[in-house]
Amino acid sequence: MSNWFETLEGIHTQIWDTLVQGVVDADHPARQPTFATVSPDNWPEARTVVLRGSDSEAATIWVHTDLHSDKIRSLQTTPRAALHIWDADQALQIRLQAEVQIESGPTLRPIWDNIPDHSKQSYGVTPPPGTPIDTGLDYVKDPNPDTFAMLHCQITHIDAVHLGEQHRRASFSRQRQWTGQWLSP
């Protein structure tokens, strides 16, 4: 059994290894984190997203979304998000805080062109996401690259809890140049 959880460096490395696994392995628990924002009327909102990329050196992750989704309106008002991942196999909870930049438009066309057709169905729904409809299927999926957006999440803080035999909790922040700090679990 690995002892990655015994050192701050080990935990930090394991967090980023877990995020990378979430990008490359569709069955990994980190693939679909909970993404939380604050609505324009100050209510918390949480939804599941698909992790599409991670960069440990830049401390950035990114996800795709529809430009007309509620999360876009929320992020335009408050460009911050929290992400939560629970990996039961590792007994590891990862919480991330991030500043979020919304990217859309022609610069994303190469990414759009590489998205599988079945996944493109998520970007371009009529009426737009969140619009009231008369029946459960009273919408049309019309894949549209003009509604495709990428959320660049610049991580500012990481909180990790390992719930092994001996619980351990660590905090890492951009402000501290990612130097870890043990916390009481």
For 71-133, give the secondary structure using H, E and C. HHHHHHHCCEEEEEEEECCCCEEEEEEEEEEEEECHHHHHHHHCCCHHHHCCCCEECCCCCCC
The H or E element that residue 29 is part of is: none
**pLDDT tens sequence across 94-139:** 999 999 999 999 999 999 999 999 999 999 999 999 999 999 999 9
**pLDDT tens sequence across 23-67:** 999 999 999 999 999 999 999 999 999 999 999 999 999 999 999
- Inform me whether the pLDDT recorded for 2 exceeds 90: no
pLDDT of residue 91: 96
**Cβ burial 113-132 (10 Å sphere, 16+ → b, else e):** eebeeeebebbbbeeebeee
Q: Which pTM was predicted?
A: 0.94
% of residues, the chain, pLDDT over 70: 99
Q: What is the DSSP letter of 61?
A: E
pLDDT of residue 31: 98
Which residue matches tokens 């079945």?
A: 118
The Cα 61–Cα 180 span in angstroms is 19
pLDDT of residue 1: 46
Greatest pairwise CA separation for the chain in angstroms: 55
